[in-house]
């Protein structure tokens, strides 16, 4: 997957452009870390989840070494999702019907969720990350406790056999997309305590593409983007009937293979840009689409830009596992988004696993905790290294001096020829005369 292309650059990228290329199979899903824009997680057909760090100014060569490899799934990994508030918490789901929640900082699996009888289509955390919403090939939608894996409620989502998607809205409602028995595309709005009885169920059309709902929590807008469609429909969610209001449709000539949405802090508030999309077309182009609200005033529009989710985590992975639920930290965009001077970096302190195979070591030896090296010991090693370096330099100087003396004495020998004192002269060799 390519990385490090600036927004201002347009046109075809070079054939030798640096890539992120550490997977052994096709990449099926990627997700940017919400708390560090330089960190990306990727899932692949090689059953491995990798976490990458992209430099601020992009890549200068192809990146093949990830921060950490997360190994658990036995089949391809088609879904990766970061926790909205907890630092370094990552969810992965594979074709082995398993959901795993990881602590990327330690490289260990925190929770295994094994309640899906078939492939997981989608997953979404609620606003504070205390609940997990999933859709499955068995046509059911489930609300799960992500810390324990216990199903809190479930219901049939859509009766069609094709893929479904579901997302949590900011105030707790659930929005889903799917198909009817007659293969008509539908969307619905539900409450978590009554999943089996939708508040709204609307049929859109008879297209075959799966619809992906993209949600803007600040404006309560939902954008429906179908795979293979050339349109983007957007709706507003309100607390009064009919609850889901159709606004408009954005039409393009080229169908889309995939689409991604820029976080609100990346939008340009000076032109009233409320959303920005990146569409991948069948021709291989990445098209940038901006949604703007026309306003004559050049002042900051507070109704369009309430405080939005920032790039700071609200709690650590350990605090979240202990039961702490906290809302995301919000920031104001009145003066534009300013990246933090000191970004949170992911440093992996992997814990030793007794199942890891050591080089020629038994499992008992591998399981023994390794002694930690104290700062005093490290300082002693550094002092000893400095002494050895000084001794090597001293010996090198002495060797050079001795070499100079040998060269000088040799030159003196060469000079003591027939005109010398004769002490070093070589006697002539006798020859046989005929």
Q: What is the DSSP string of 147-165?
A: TT--EEEEEE--SSSS--E
Could you tell me the sign of the dihedral formed by the alpha carbons of 350, 351, 352, 355, in that order? negative
Q: Which residue has the tokens 């989710």?
A: 309
Say which residue the tokens 């926790």 belong to: 83
Residue 189 has pLDDT above 60, yes or no: yes
CA–CA dist 399, 239 (Å, integer):
88
Q: Which among 274, 264, 376 has a CA at the least distance from the CA of 330?
A: 264
* Confidence band of 348 (pLDDT split at 50, 70, 90): low
pLDDT of residue 185: 96
Euclidean distance between CA atoms 399 and 393, whole angstroms: 10
User: What local confidence, expressed as pLDDT, does residue 378 receive?
Assistant: 74
**Do 371 and 342 form a contact (C-beta atoms < 8 A)?**
no
Residue 432 pLDDT greater than 80, yes or no: no
> 23 near 67, Cβ under 8 Å?
no
Q: Do residues 188 and 182 touch, judged by C-beta distance below 8 A?
A: no
Q: pLDDT higher for 375 or 80?
A: 80
Query: In angstroms, rounded to a whole number, what is the distance separating the alpha carbons of residues 265 and 375?
Result: 42
Position 366 confidence tier, pLDDT thresholds 50, 70, 90: very low
CA distance 220 to 231: 20
* Percent of the chain as helix, strand, coil, to the nearest 5: 15, 35, 55
DSSP label at 191? B
Mean pLDDT of 176-198: 95
pLDDT at 362: 39
Please report the pLDDT score of residue 58 as a whole number.
Answer: 82
Work out the average pLDDT over 70-81.
96
User: Under 8 Å CB-to-CB from 61, ≥6 apart: which residues?
Assistant: 18
Computed over its alpha carbons, how large is the radius of gyration of the chain? Answer: 33
Instruction: Write out the two tokens for 40.
Output: 């990306």
Contacts of 40 (CB under 8 A, 6+ apart): 3, 20, 30, 31, 32, 33, 51, 52, 54
What's the confidence (pLDDT) of residue 426?
45
pLDDT tens string 96-140: 999 999 999 999 999 999 999 999 999 999 999 999 999 999 999
Residue 350 has pLDDT above 60, yes or no: no
Within a 10 A sphere around the Cβ of 368, how many other Cβ atoms? Answer: 11
Res. 416 pLDDT band, cuts 50 70 90: low
Phi, psi torsion values for 229, nearest 5 degrees: -80, 160
For residues 14 and 118, the model is more confident at 118
pLDDT at 419 over 80: no
Any idea which of 183-192, 207-216, 410-419 has the lowest mean pLDDT?
410-419
**Residue matched to tokens 């003591």:** 416
CB of 262 closer than 8 Å to CB of 255:
no
Q: What is the pLDDT of residue 125?
A: 97
Q: In this predicted structure, what is the pLDDT of residue 345?
A: 61
> Which tens digits make up the pLDDT trace of 212-249?
999 999 999 999 999 899 999 999 999 888 899 999 99
DSSP element (H, E) containing 143: strand 140-144
The proportion of the chain whose per-residue pLDDT surpasses 70, expressed as a percent, equals 86
Tokens 């593409």: give the residue: 209
What pLDDT sits at residue 21? 87
404 vs 392: CA distance, rounded Å: 18
User: Which band of pLDDT confidence, cut at 50, 70 and 90, is reported for residue 369?
Assistant: very low
Contact of 201 with 243, CB cutoff 8 Å: no
User: Whole-number mean pLDDT of the chain?
Assistant: 86
**C-beta of residue 142 within 8 angstroms of C-beta of residue 124:** no
Which pLDDT score, from 0 to 100, does residue 364 have? 42
């Amino acid at each position: 997957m390519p990385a490090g292309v600036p927004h201002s650059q347009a046109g075809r990228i070079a054939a030798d452009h640096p890539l992120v290329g550490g997977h052994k199979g096709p990449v099926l899903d990627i997700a940017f870390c919400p708390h560090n824009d330089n960190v990306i997680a990727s899932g692949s057909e090689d059953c491995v989840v990798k976490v990458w760090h992209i430099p601020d100014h992009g890549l200068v060569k192809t990146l093949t070494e990830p921060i950490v490899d997360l190994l658990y799934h036995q089949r391809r990994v088609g879904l990766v999702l970061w926790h909205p508030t907890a630092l370094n918490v990552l969810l992965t789901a594979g074709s082995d019907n398993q959901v795993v929640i990881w602590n990327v900082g330690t490289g260990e699996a925190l929770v295994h969720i094994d309640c899906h009888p078939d492939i997981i289509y989608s997953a979404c955390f609620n606003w504070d990350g205390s609940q997990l919403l999933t859709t499955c090939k068995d046509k059911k939608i489930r609300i799960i406790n992500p810390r324990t894996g216990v199903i809190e409620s479930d219901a049939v989502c859509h009766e069609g056999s094709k893929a479904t998607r579901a997302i949590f809205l900011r105030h707790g409602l659930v929005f889903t997309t799917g198909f009817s028995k007659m293969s008509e595309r539908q969307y619905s709005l539900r409450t978590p305590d009554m999943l089996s009885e939708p508040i709204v169920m609307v049929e859109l059309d008879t297209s075959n593409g799966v619809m992906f709902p993209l949600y803007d929590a600040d404006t309560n807008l939902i954008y429906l983007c179908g795979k293979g469609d050339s349109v983007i429909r957007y709706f507003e969610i309100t607390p009064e009937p009919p609850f889901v209001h159709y606004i408009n449709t954005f039409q393009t000539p080229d169908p889309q293979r995939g689409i991604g949405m820029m976080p609100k802090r990346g939008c340009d508030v000076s032109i009233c840009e409320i959303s920005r999309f990146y569409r991948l077309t069948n021709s291989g182009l990445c098209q940038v689409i901006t949604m703007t609200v026309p306003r004559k005033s050049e002042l900051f529009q507070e109704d369009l830009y309430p405080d939005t989710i920032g790039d700071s985590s609200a709690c650590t992975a350990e605090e979240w596992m202990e039961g702490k639920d906290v809302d995301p930290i919000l920031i104001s965009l009145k003066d534009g988004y300013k990246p933090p001077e000191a970004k949170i970096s992911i440093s992996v302190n992997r814990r030793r696993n007794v199942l890891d195979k050591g080089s020629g070591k038994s499992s008992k030896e591998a399981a023994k905790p390794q002694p930690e090296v104290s700062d005093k010991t490290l300082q002693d090693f550094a002092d000893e290294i400095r002494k050895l370096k000084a001794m090597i330099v001293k010996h090198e100087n002495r060797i050079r001096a001795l070499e100079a003396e040998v060269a000088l004495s040799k030159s003196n020998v060469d000079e003591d020829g027939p005109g010398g004192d004769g002490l070093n002269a070589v006697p002539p060799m006798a020859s046989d005369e005929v």
